[in-house]
């Protein structure tokens, strides 16, 4: 049997344009927020805390991009922050930044699959594998991104800048409770970040401290309100 050679330009049907705000059935898709940052800065812990803070009010799912294991996904499963069907691990062939920026096809499959299987969803958190300071998310994959660094990684990171620190929609400086022990100057980090980011927001957070993830959760709620408006 032969297909004919007509090529009308259409975008209907499943798996349409990546950044399209609507699903094939016309409903608005979930807001997608990416979390990136260096290894050990607390991305997975922040995701877990966000899930605990938001799961009563929102329909949530998480995609993890692990470098060579499923440990981040398994941490979330062990912590029981979400039921297992709401957590998907994407394998990245040793290049996590490729999977969130240069070739987002596997992540797009994962977010769409989650919406198909457990939807409707309000919010999908896409966590990057721990990478370097240049890793950012493609706009074809996420609607907003959070960059997580920590005080123990060196208090000169905000000053050094880089795409993550400079352009992320929210910069989180994590583990502030450790600052006295590692000799990091919180005030200087905040000032450097402000200088790099102009009007873009910065949150200083300690997940062990009193406020916990409250400020980041509030920022997510605001993004969601803007998305659904």
Partner 1 sequence: MTRAALLVLADGRFPAGGHAHSGGAEAAVKAGRITGASGLESFCRGRLHTAGLVSAGLAAAAALGMDPAELDAAADARTPSPALRGVARRLGRQLMRAARVTWPSAELDALARQFPKGAHQPVVLGVAARAAGLGAEDAAYCSVYEGVSGPATATVRLLSLDPFDATGVVARLAPEMDLVVGRAVEAARRAVHDGVDVLPAASAPLLEIGAEGHAGWAVRLFAS
CB of 132 to partner 1, least distance (A): 16
Question: CB-wise, 91 or 122, nearer to partner 1?
Answer: 91
CB of 19 to partner 1, least distance (A): 10
Question: CB-wise, 101 or 197, nearer to partner 1?
Answer: 101
- Site for partner 1, rule CB under 8 A: 1-3, 5-18, 67-70, 90-95, 98-99, 102-106, 108-109
Query: What is the DSSP code (8-state) at residue 85?
Result: G
Question: CB-wise, 66 or 192, nearer to partner 1?
Answer: 66
Among candidate residues 191, 222, 220, the one with its CA nearest the CA of residue 204: 191
Question: CB-wise, 7 or 199, nearer to partner 1?
Answer: 7
Name the token pair of 101. Answer: 């920026």
Question: CB-wise, 15 or 187, nearer to partner 1?
Answer: 15
Question: CB-wise, 106 or 186, nearer to partner 1?
Answer: 106
CB of 112 to partner 1, least distance (A): 9
Q: Residues 6 or more apart from 35 whose CB is under 8 A from it?
A: 43, 46, 47, 125, 126, 127, 128, 145, 146, 147, 148
CB of 61 to partner 1, least distance (A): 19
Is 31 exposed, middle or buried (CB count within 10 Å of its CB: 0-12, 13-18, 19+)? Answer: buried
Burial 87-104 (b: 16+ CB within 10 A, else e): bbbbebeeebbbbbbeeb
CB of 130 to partner 1, least distance (A): 15
Torsion of CA 207, 170, 148, 60, to 10 degrees: 70
Torsion of CA 214, 216, 217, 221, to 10 degrees: 130
Distance from C-alpha of 159 to C-alpha of 111, rounded to nearest angstrom: 34
Q: Residues 6 or more apart from 134 whose CB is under 8 A from it?
A: 97, 162, 163, 164
CB of 140 to partner 1, least distance (A): 9
């Amino acid at each position: 049997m032969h297909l004919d050679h007509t090529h009308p330009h259409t975008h209907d049907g499943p798996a349409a344009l990546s950044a399209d705000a609507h699903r094939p059935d016309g409903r608005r898709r979930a807001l997608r927020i990416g979390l990136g940052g260096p290894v050990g800065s607390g991305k997975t812990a922040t995701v877990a805390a966000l899930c605990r803070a938001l799961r009563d009010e929102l329909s949530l799912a998480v995609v993890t991009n692990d470098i060579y294991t499923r440990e981040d996904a398994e941490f979330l499963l062990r912590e029981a922050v979400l039921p297992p069907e709401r957590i998907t691990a994407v394998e990245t062939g040793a290049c996590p930044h490729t999977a969130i920026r240069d070739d987002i096809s596997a992540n797009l499959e994962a977010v769409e699959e989650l919406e198909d299987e457990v939807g409707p969803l309000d919010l999908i958190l896409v966590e990057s594998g721990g990478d370097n300071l240049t890793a950012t998310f493609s706009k074809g994959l996420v609607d907003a991104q959070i960059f997580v660094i920590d005080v123990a990684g060196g208090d000169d990171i905000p000053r050094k800048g880089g795409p993550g620190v400079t352009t992320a929609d929210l910069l989180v400086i994590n583990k502030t409770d450790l600052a006295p022990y590692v000799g990091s100057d919180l005030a200087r980090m905040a000032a450097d970040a402000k200088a790099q980011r102009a009007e873009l927001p910065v949150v200083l957070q300690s997940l062990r401290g009193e406020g916990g993830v409250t400020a980041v959760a509030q920022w997510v709620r605001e993004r969601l309100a803007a998305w659904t408006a």
